[in-house]
Amino acid sequence: MKDITECHARLRGLFNITVTPFKADGAFDYVGLARNIERVISLGFDGILIGGTYGEFPAMSAEERADLFRRVMDIVGDRVPVMLCSAGSDVRVVRELTALAGDLGGLPMVTPPFVSEVTDAQIVAFFRDMVPLSRTGVLVYNAPGIGITLSPSTLEQLAEIPGVVGVKQGDLSPTAIDQIANRIGGRIRLFCASDLAFLGPMMCGFDGISSTNSCALPELILAAYRTLEAGDAAVARDLHRLWYPFRALAREFGQPQTTKAAMNLRGFDGGSVRPPLRDLEIANITAVAKVLRELAADRRSGFSADLAA
């Protein structure tokens, strides 16, 4: 993407939150990453997200993240839009990665600063400082998991900043979704940050979703999204219900380790997680395999039960 206008135009649809496959010793598996990217692009995903919270960016150095950005953009080129997470606790690192992401043709995704008792005014000022660094604009990531939840009124202020092209909304409370969809929808792009409960935001008028579990269940989640996009909410609902048992395990065992375990079982390049996360234990992997086999037994899932040993 060359500029903010093009970025805004292309920022819609189903984005795969691509996991970062690490080897057992913690090294990057770039060959596996390339295979994962090529798979989701070939299946017809609208874009990808790299190095986010489920991409394990907090476990990477700034240099590793910059190298990841460059390698991914070399693989993808301009085939699909790429969100590149430039969030961090060190504003100097956020500045460098945000500028780099834009220079590479990706869209930097930025969270509020990780600072105790930061005020709304300071958050708005932070984004005003970040946005001009990127020629493609900035995607605001409202990520309650980091301890800061942006209110609809604060998001409304951020939407007024020239160069803010969208919000990835992690607060999925019905009130927040309703307010955001009706206050800033149409002005900037709105993305649901979770595939665990995306039907509501999409029905309210959101422009897309980002999905980690689509690394493990790409056929099924893509089918559910495309069905909803085509206007058949009832079938989309049924497809979404189909993989609830997998979502239940993901909530119990944690992410992205559950998705990576499922990917490995399917012969995909999930790899390992980096500390402080831990790969799933054998008993938990067995539970994931059981759910995958049950899913595969239903033709609607779109995949077979051939699992790796």
pLDDT at position 115 over 90: no
Exactly one of 23, 30, 141, 260 is catalytic; name it.
Answer: 141
Q: How far apart are CA 50 and CA 19, in angstroms?
A: 7
Neighbours of 307 (CB within 10 A): 15
pLDDT at position 309 over 70: no
Task: Give the model's pLDDT for residue 129.
Answer: 97
Hunting for tokens 């395990």 — which residue is that?
249
Active-site residue, 244 included = no
Measured between alpha carbons, how far is residue 272 from residues 38, 50, 55, 57, 259 in Å? 20, 16, 12, 14, 10
Cβ-proximal residues to 13 (8 Å cutoff; 6+ apart), any chain: 45, 46, 47, 207, 208, 225, 229
pLDDT at position 117 over 70: yes
pLDDT at position 288 over 70: yes
| Mean per-residue pLDDT, 37-51 | 97
| Mean per-residue pLDDT, 33-38 | 97
- Beta 107-110 vs 13-18: how paired, if at all? unpaired
8 Å CB contact between 90 and 57: no
Measured between alpha carbons, how far is residue 267 from residues 95, 185, 285 in Å? 37, 39, 14
Task: Give the model's pLDDT for residue 7.
Answer: 93
Exactly one of 168, 225, 244, 290 is catalytic; name it.
Answer: 168
Task: Name the nearest CA neighbour of 99 among 138, 143, 128.
Answer: 138
Hunting for tokens 């997200």 — which residue is that?
49
| Mean per-residue pLDDT, 290-294 | 96
Please work out, in degrees rounded to the nearest 5, the angle formed at the alpha carbon of residue 196 by the alpha carbons of 191 and 200. Answer: 60
**Average model confidence (pLDDT) for the chain?**
95
Q: How far apart are the first and last CA of the chain?
A: 41
Please work out, in degrees rounded to the nearest 5, the angle formed at the alpha carbon of residue 138 by the alpha carbons of 223 and 112. Answer: 100
pLDDT, one tens digit per residue, over 177-204 is 999 999 999 999 999 998 988 899 999 9
Q: Which two tokens stand for residue 308?
A: 């790796």
Active-site residue, 260 included = no
Task: Give the model's pLDDT for residue 275.
Answer: 95
Q: Which two tokens stand for residue 160?
A: 């007024």
Q: How far apart are CA 297 and CA 299, in angstroms?
A: 6
Cβ-proximal residues to 262 (8 Å cutoff; 6+ apart), any chain: 216, 217, 246, 270, 288, 292
DSSP structure string for 239-273: HHHHTHHHHHHHHHH-TTHHHHHHHHHTTS---BP
Q: How far apart are CA 123 and CA 251, in angstroms?
A: 30
| Mean per-residue pLDDT, 240-265 | 97
Task: Give the model's pLDDT for residue 36.
Answer: 97
Task: Name the nearest CA neighbour of 216 among 151, 156, 147, 288.
Answer: 288
- How much helix, strand and coil, in percent to the nearest 5, is found in the chain? 50, 15, 35
Superfamily name and number for 4-232? Aldolase class I (3.20.20.70)
Q: Which residue has the higher pLDDT, 248 or 114?
A: 248
Task: Name the nearest CA neighbour of 31 among 258, 307, 271, 280.
Answer: 271
pTM assigned to the model = 0.96
Task: Give the model's pLDDT for residue 133.
Answer: 97
Q: How confident is the model at residue 84 (pLDDT cuts 50, 70, 90)?
A: very high
Task: Give the model's pLDDT for residue 114.
Answer: 82
Percent above pLDDT 70 for the chain: 99
8 Å CB contact between 192 and 142: no
